Amino acid sequence: MSPLHDVLQQLSHSHLPWLVLTMAVYLATLALYKRSRCHPLLIPVFPSVVIIVGVLLATDTPYATYQQGVQWLSLLIGPATVALAIPLYAQRARIYALWKPIAVALLVGCVVALLSAMGIAWALGGSWETLISLAPKSATIPIALPMAERFGGLPSLAAVAVAVTGISGCMLAPLLLRIVRSQDPAVEGFAQGLTAHAIGTARSIQINPTAGAFAALAMGLNGVLTALLMPLCVALFQKLP
């Protein structure tokens, strides 16, 4: 065998290529996003997912192999989540002043997200596993997956639903915010964090520190409220014929 073939064989069993590929793809799509003047259809996470999935399929690489290769990136999720406390602390006075509208928006948004997901799936004849898997779609993955699995859903389907919700939420947010003529970064951030969880929060942080703080607040509170209300929604749909 040629030396080049030996190198390729070693790289195929190494974690480094997947880490480098992920970083390179994200930086490339981020540059494309900025060059397009922040076109909503080109938010970096969307084309990045498409490219990475395409590479995995083309090389017949199991997802488990890719996951091991990017485990160092996964470890950064914890510190990044804790770091969200910094912009939240900076906005504590305004959060306290707006606690009533925040509470109402949180409750309405969480209930609508749960009932609409389960209701649409039920109306279209979806199985019980499908209903449960789609229910926590607006919560962040660390909460959505255990909740779906606990009530008999499929964690893999729940993960896809969460990802699609986050990506579509970021794509549609600019249009919807223009329709309602919102120019308040607190409102925009809270809306994105509530509906698009971590992806919406990351996008909001890039736009404005205030929007990022309120998005982080919405993501955290919605995750907790989803865990509290999902059992009630499940019980409600269990009574349907």
Sole residue written with tokens 């969880």: 197
* Continuous H helices in the chain: 3-12, 16-35, 45-58, 63-69, 71-75, 77-83, 85-90, 92-97, 99-123, 128-134, 141-150, 155-179, 185-207, 209-238
Under a CB-based contact definition with an 8 Å cutoff, are residues 128 and 234 in contact? no
b/e burial code for range 187-208 (CB count within 10 A of at least 16 → b):
bbbbbbbbbbbbbbbbbbbebb
The model scores a pTM over 0.95:
no
pLDDT of 102 strictly over 90: yes
Residues, the chain, total?
A: 241
pLDDT of 3 strictly over 60: no
pLDDT bin (cut points 50, 70, 90) of residue 172 is confident
Under a CB-based contact definition with an 8 Å cutoff, are residues 114 and 93 in contact? no
Residue 23 neighbours by CB under 8 Å, 6+ apart: none
pLDDT of 42 strictly over 90: no
Alpha-carbon distance 153 to 146, whole Å?
A: 9
- pLDDT digit string (tens) for 176-216? 888 888 888 999 999 999 989 888 888 888 888 899 899 99
Alpha-carbon distance 21 to 40, whole Å?
A: 23
pLDDT of 147 strictly over 60: yes
Dihedral Cα 171, 172, 175, 176, nearest 10 deg: -150
Q: Is 88 helix (H, G, I), strand (E, B) or coil?
A: helix
Alpha-carbon distance 16 to 72, whole Å?
A: 10
For the chain, give the mean pLDDT.
Answer: 86
The token duo for 1 is 């065998």
- Of the two residues 28 and 198, the one the predictor is more confident about is 28
Q: Is 104 helix (H, G, I), strand (E, B) or coil?
A: helix
pLDDT of 138 strictly over 70: yes
Question: What is the pLDDT at residue 226?
Answer: 94
Question: What is the pLDDT at residue 8?
Answer: 45
* Continuous H helices in 180-208: 185-207
pLDDT of 7 strictly over 50: no
Q: Is 1 helix (H, G, I), strand (E, B) or coil?
A: coil
Question: What is the pLDDT at residue 182?
Answer: 83
Over range 143-171, report the average pLDDT.
89
- Of the two residues 52 and 71, the one the predictor is more confident about is 52
Nearest in space to 106 (alpha carbons), one of 139, 130, 74:
139
Sole residue written with tokens 């999902």: 230
Question: What is the pLDDT at residue 14?
Answer: 62
Alpha-carbon distance 175 to 112, whole Å?
A: 20
Worst-scoring range by mean pLDDT, 41-55, 67-81, 96-110, 176-190? 67-81
The token duo for 229 is 């209300």
By percentage, how much of the chain surpasses pLDDT 70?
94
- Of the two residues 12 and 31, the one the predictor is more confident about is 31
